Amino acid sequence: MMQQLGPSVIAVFLASFSLAAQTPAAKQISFAAEIVGREPKTFAPMVGSWVISREGNRNVLFIDGRVWKRGQPAGGLADKARELYGARNEEFIESIKAFAYYPIAVYKGIDDFQNGEISVRFQMLGGALDRCAGILFNLKPNGDYLTVRYNGTEDNVVLWTFNKGVRKFVNRAPTLVPLELGTWHTLKISIHGTSLKSWLDDKPMHDFTLSEPVSGKIGVWSKTDSMVEFDDFQFTVAK
Amino acid sequence: MRATSVHRALAIGFLSCMVTSAASAQRSGASKSATRPDSRRTVACTVNSSDAWVKRQAVWFDESKHDWSNDSLRTALLAAAGLQAPLKAPVQNGVRVDGQAHTFGPTADALTQDLMKLAATRGSTWPTRSVVGPTGTHAVYLLASRDTALGRAALHRMMEAGPDESPAADVATLEDQLRLGWGRKQLYGTQFEIDASGKVRLKAMEDSSHADLRREGAGLPPFQLGICLAGTSK
């Protein structure tokens, strides 16, 4: 049969088989099995009020900025930090308290994301001060992290770094993209070594070189009183 | 108009008309989380002091502690905005109708210029609650709402200061007004106009199905109550 197919067809077949073997499967996090009105089981809310909510016929993860209080971490922070970082949780807690301006929920299913893609769908519903939806990554046991976020009050996508409780601007995507509230959009990042790229609804936003490779937990991020729904959190781990 | 939108709201409110949410027709029928306001409910067109949004404003605008730092600026702001302290809740009912002007004091233009200079000065202290008290912050809102340039600067400063220092209901109402001026749709449903036939109409709005969520966050009355208070025509 091999002779009948010819060498070029075989080459294509082998190449595609090889590609399939190398392409890592995307992991998609669904909230379908979660309980509406409760905190998510797949994510650990560290700051802010994160609850499963019903939107249309789907369960989504909702950051409810109406109950945001300055400097107040999420309930049960100590237990959640212990679950994520075991004996190293105290340093994490101290740092997270300093970050309490920025709600975060950490995905429980991966400890060390280094290379690959992360994407999430989001829908902004409101927020008098901020309307922010972001992807959290490079979260360290000491609470340091990076985030690429869309801000609906500024219409931009920005990379921020948080070190020892201090937020610093890193890079702003050059394109302003006004988005309407109540509409779904997709934020995506790709990390390979120190290369960071981002997209908003498949439009390229960032093409940036980080100061060092990424290594840490991942999740979703928001800011102050934002009211945002998240859905279809996906990631692909590349070697 | 010396009688502010608050008085108008109260006057209309006691007509006690009953309205049903138009948003209910837009919704899919699937209920939201129990933690969210339900815009399908029937709303009485009445402002009660026991309403959560009124109580929240009453707490925010309470001046009994006299805990602000700049009395002279506060006095100047109140005179320019034509306000007398203390204000009675609800101070901001989220109903702003084009053509219904507030009566400002004779120093309003000069103080608007002063606020513009202040906003343009990096690191300057913006007149927030801890600086000029609750009534002083509402005076800033009123002055900002009559001048687009000041409005833009003030909105940024008010948002930056946060809800403890700037009244969220004023921030929301000002943002709606400015967005419409920028050619975008309003978010909270606070801006109305009077059409050629003399009827009050809600101006273009974004995502009205989640309006109550936003309005609750900002300390504004439920959307349908706001519609009713504005006296819109069906």
Q: How far is CA B141 from CA A224, B103, B156, in A?
A: 22, 14, 12
Residue contact A37–B214, C-beta within 8 A: no
**B159 vs chain A: nearest CA distance in angstroms?**
5
Nearest to A227 among B31, B168, B217 (CB): B217
- Write the pLDDT tens digit of every residue in A130-149: 899 999 999 999 999 999 99
- Chain A residues 163-192 with a CB less than 8 Å from chain B: 178, 180-183
Is the pLDDT reported for residue A156 higher than 80? yes
Contact criterion met (CB below 8 Å) for B81 and B107: no
Q: Report chain B residues whose CB lies below 8 A from the CB of A225.
A: 163, 217
On the CB side of B39, CA atoms within 13 Å amount to 26
Q: Report chain B residues whose CB lies below 8 A from the CB of A55.
A: 32
Q: And the tokens for B149?
A: 């340039």
Predicted confidence at residue A110, as pLDDT, reads 95
Q: Which residue stretches of chain A are H helix?
A: 2-5, 7-22, 77-85, 89-98
Q: Report chain A residues whose CB lies below 8 A from the CB of B35.
A: 37, 51, 53, 64
Mutation for testing the A interface, residue in B28, B36, B215 having most A CBs under 10 Å? B36
Q: First vs last Cα of chain B: how many Å apart?
A: 26
Is B215 strand, coil or helix? helix
Q: Report chain A residues whose CB lies below 8 A from the CB of B210.
A: 125-126, 181-182, 227
- Write the pLDDT tens digit of every residue in A57-82: 999 999 998 876 666 677 777 788 88
* pTM > 0.95: no
A152 touches chain B (CB under 8 A): no
The residues facing A60 across adjacent strands are A53
Residue contact B30–A53, C-beta within 8 A: no
Task: Say which residues have a Cβ less than 8 Å from residue A62's Cβ, sequence separation at least 6.
Answer: A50, A51, A52, A53, A227, A228, A229, A230, B33
Nearest to A54 among B33, B163, B209 (CB): B33
Q: Report chain A residues whose CB lies below 8 A from the CB of B179.
A: none
Contact criterion met (CB below 8 Å) for B159 and B173: no
Nearest to A70 among B28, B31, B164 (CB): B164
Is the pLDDT reported for residue A94 higher than 90? no
Is A201 strand, coil or helix? coil
Predicted confidence at residue A93, as pLDDT, reads 79
Of the candidates B222, B163, B230, B233, the residue with the CA atom closest to the CA atom of residue B23: B222
Q: Could you list the pLDDT tens digit for every one of the 234 residues in chain B?
A: 333 443 343 333 333 334 433 333 333 333 344 456 655 555 678 999 999 999 999 999 999 999 999 999 999 999 999 999 999 999 999 999 998 889 999 999 999 999 999 999 988 999 999 999 999 999 999 999 999 999 999 999 998 888 889 999 999 999 999 999 999 999 999 999 999 999 999 999 999 999 999 999 999 999 999 999 998 754
A230 touches chain B (CB under 8 A): no
| Residue of chain A whose alpha carbon sits nearest to that of B172 | A128
Position A89, amino acid: N
Residue contact B217–A128, C-beta within 8 A: yes
Nearest to A126 among B32, B162, B187 (CB): B187
Q: Per-residue confidence at A239, pLDDT binned at 50, 70, 90?
A: confident
Predicted confidence at residue A228, as pLDDT, reads 97
Residue B219: exposed, middle, or buried by beta-carbon count in 10 A (0-12, 13-18, 19+)?
buried
A53 touches chain B (CB under 8 A): yes
**Lowest-confidence region among A25-29, A98-102, A232-236, B90-94:** A98-102
Predicted confidence at residue B42, as pLDDT, reads 59
The rounded distance, in Å, linking the Cα atoms of A159 and A148 is 4
- Write the pLDDT tens digit of every residue in A209-218: 999 999 999 9
